[in-house]
Structure 1
Amino acid sequence: MVSAWDAGDAAAFSEEFTDDATYVIYVGLVYTGRRAIEEGHVPVFEKWQKGTRMSMLVREIRFLGDATAVVLTEGGIGKRTIRRDKVQTYTFVREADGRWRCTAFQNTRKNSLFIRMNALSSPRP
Structure 2
Amino acid sequence: MRYRHITLLTLTVGTVTAAAMVGAKMALAAGTDSLRTPARRRPGAAAHSGNGQDRAAFDELLRRQEQAWADKDGAAFAATFTEDADLVTFNGDYLRTQDAIAQGMQYYFDHYIGDTTIRTLDQHVRFVNRHTAIIVRTSCQIQAGESECREGSLSVNTNVLTKKNGVWLQQSFQNTRKTELPRS
TM-score of the superposition, structure 2-length normalised?
Answer: 0.57
Cα RMSD for the two superposed structures:
1.7
> Structure 2, unaligned stretches of length 5 or more?
1-64
Q: Which whole-Å CA distance do the structure 1 matches of 2:140 and 2:164 have between them?
A: 27
User: What secondary structure sits across from 1:40 in the alignment?
Assistant: helix
Q: Please tell me the residue identity of whatever aligns with 2:169.
A: R
1:52 aligns with 2:119: no
CA contact (8 A) 2:121 2:140 kept: no
1:92 aligns with 2:156: no
Give the percent of matched residue pairs that are identical in Structure 1 and Structure 2. Answer: 30
Q: Any runs of at least 4 consecutive aligned residues in structure 1 with deviations exceeding 3 A, and if so which?
A: none
Write the deviation string for residues 17-49 of structure 1: whole angstroms up to 9, x where unpaired. Answer: 010111001221100000000000112222211
> Structure 1, unaligned stretches of length 5 or more?
118-125
TM-score of the superposition, structure 1-length normalised?
Answer: 0.82
What is the number of residues matched between the two proteins? 114
1:1-125 counterparts in 2 under 5 A? 1-79=65-143, 80=146, 81-83=148-150, 85-96=154-165, 98-113=166-181
Q: Which whole-Å CA distance do the structure 1 matches of 2:67 and 2:170 have between them?
A: 15
State the 1:82 CA deviation. Answer: 2.3
Larger radius of gyration: 2
